[in-house]
Amino acid sequence: MKQAYVNGEPISREAVQFELDRLVKFYATHGMSQAEIRKNLEKLVEKAQEQAIGAKLLLARAEQLDIPVTEAAIDAQVEQVVRQVGGRENFVKALAAQKLSEDAFRKELAKGCRVDVLVRQACSGVAEPTEQDVAEYYAAHQADYVAQPQVLAQHILVKTEGMDAADKVQALDKIKAIRARIVAAGDAGEVGQAFCAEAREHSDCPSGAQGGSLGWFGPGMMVPEFDKAAFSMKCGEVSDVIETQFGYHIILKTDEKAGGPQTLVDVADQIRDLLRHEARGRAMDAFVAELREKANVEYR
């Protein structure tokens, strides 16, 4: 794909990747499977580049208009970032890692706030989807709304990457001993407590800090060996030792959800959000198209 330039300035790969990550997250949230995302990745990258061009044009227009931004609005943005990174100390460390002062960071946030105002103005005439709109969309796309089966599980990992044969034997002995202690704990509640304790103490996966919790996941989200084991187990069962490219695992399956068709009630909010997004997208496309007519956009 050729690189885009706006008024002689290049659209960076980082800007395109940022927009691509947002697109993938949005479509994944609205029912697009990982297989479909991979199949349409080239189109998504092209769309991400166009969105990055639009973002640059919006930023330039917002600066040209010198849209006012209050300190309170910037303070609110800073506090949101602080919460997201886990506190003020982590925030300061993150700025230092990027060699960015807080004042410079606040100036970047101010630019974003100006663009947000511009976007709200461009979308001010967009109507909210009606209940009829939602129902009609569901009726036309009902086949797309089928929930995948899901598993809720915890795991313990003993890494073997880079190990020689002798070290792998020791790693296997280690996880076998961990499993033996867990299954000897007693009933299901005691097994769960033992699993959490062993995960916190011995797992080489960051999830160990949360007792090995992986949350809910669907088919294809884990490596094949792990995926096959998790979906074939019974709830409350501790797996045998499973080997993957990462090392040796044991799994505790705690719950599962069967897949199947989703009702309108199940997906109404999801569809409403999608229709809202599409309507706002059309309004923004029209607004950005006007900006593009006055700019020099090239692909080299």
Length of the chain: 300
Q: In terms of domains, do 239 and 271 share one?
A: no
Q: What pLDDT, on a 0 to 100 scale, did the predictor assign at position 46?
A: 92
CB neighbourhood size of 64 (10 A)? 8
Same structural domain for residues 133 and 195? no
Report whether pLDDT(11) > 90. yes
DSSP, res 262:
P
- How far apart CA 123 and CA 139 sit, in angstroms, is 27
pLDDT, position 28: 82
- Is pLDDT at 31 greater than 80 in this prediction? no
Whichever domain contains 104, its CATH number is: 1.10.4030.10
pLDDT of residue 16: 93
| Same domain membership, residue 269 and residue 120 | yes
How many CB atoms lie under 10 A from the CB of residue 90? Answer: 13
Do residues 276 and 174 both lie within one domain?
no
Domain count, the chain: 2
pLDDT at 265 over 90: yes
Q: How far is it, in rounded angstroms, from Cα 38 to Cα 202?
A: 35
**CA neighbor of 262 nearest in space, from 133, 153, 128, 149:** 149
pLDDT in tens, 139-151: 999 988 888 899 9
Determine the 3-state secondary structure of 131 from DSSP. helix
The mean pLDDT of 256-270, rounded to a whole number, is 93
For residues 130 and 166, membership in a common domain is answered with no
Strands 297-299 and 150-159: unpaired
pTM above 0.75, yes or no: no
Whether residues 12 and 136 share a domain: the answer is yes
Confidence of residue 239 (pLDDT cuts 50, 70, 90): very high
Q: b/e string for 266-286 if b means 16 or more Cβ within 10 A?
A: ebbebbbebbbeebeeebbee
On whether both 155 and 242 belong to a single domain, the answer is yes
The overall average pLDDT reported for the chain is: 92
Residue with tokens 């995960």: 199
Examine the domain organization and report whether 276 and 133 are in the same domain.
yes
The residues with which 216 forms a beta bridge, in sequence order, are 152
Residues 6+ positions from 183 with CB-CB distance below 8 Å: 191, 238
Say whether both 166 and 134 belong to one domain.
no
14-23, 101-110, 180-189: segment of lowest average pLDDT: 180-189
The 3-state secondary structure of 79-126 reads HHHHHHCCCHHHHHHHHHHCCCCHHHHHHHHHHHHHHHHHHHHHCCCC
Give the span between the Cα atoms of 30 and 262, in whole angstroms: 13
85 Cα distance to chain centroid? 15
Q: Counting beta carbons within 10 angstroms of the beta carbon of residue 222, is it exposed (0 to 12), middle (13 to 18) or buried (19 or more)?
A: buried
Range name among 185-194, 221-230, 286-295 with the lowest pLDDT average: 185-194
Closest to 254 (Cα-Cα) out of 201, 178, 199: 199
- 68 and 112 part of one domain: yes
| Statement to judge: residues 44 and 133 lie in one domain | yes
Count of CB atoms within 10 A of residue 162's CB? 6
> What's the pLDDT score for residue 192?
92
Q: What are phi and psi of 247, to 5 degrees?
A: 145, -150
CA gap 31, 137 in Å, rounded: 14
Q: How many helices (H) and strands (E) does the chain have?
A: 11, 9
Query: What's the confidence (pLDDT) of residue 148?
Result: 87
Enclosing domain of residue 56:
4-142+263-299
- The percent of residues in the chain predicted with pLDDT above 70, rounded, is 100
CA 210 from centre of chain:
19
Cα gap 44→112, rounded to integer Å: 23
153 and 58 in one domain?
A: no
CATH of the domain at 164: 3.10.50.40
- What pLDDT score does 211 carry? 95
User: 147: which DSSP letter?
Assistant: E
What pLDDT score does 64 carry?
87
- Each residue's pLDDT tens digit, 65-116: 888 889 999 999 999 999 988 889 999 999 999 898 999 999 989 988 888 8
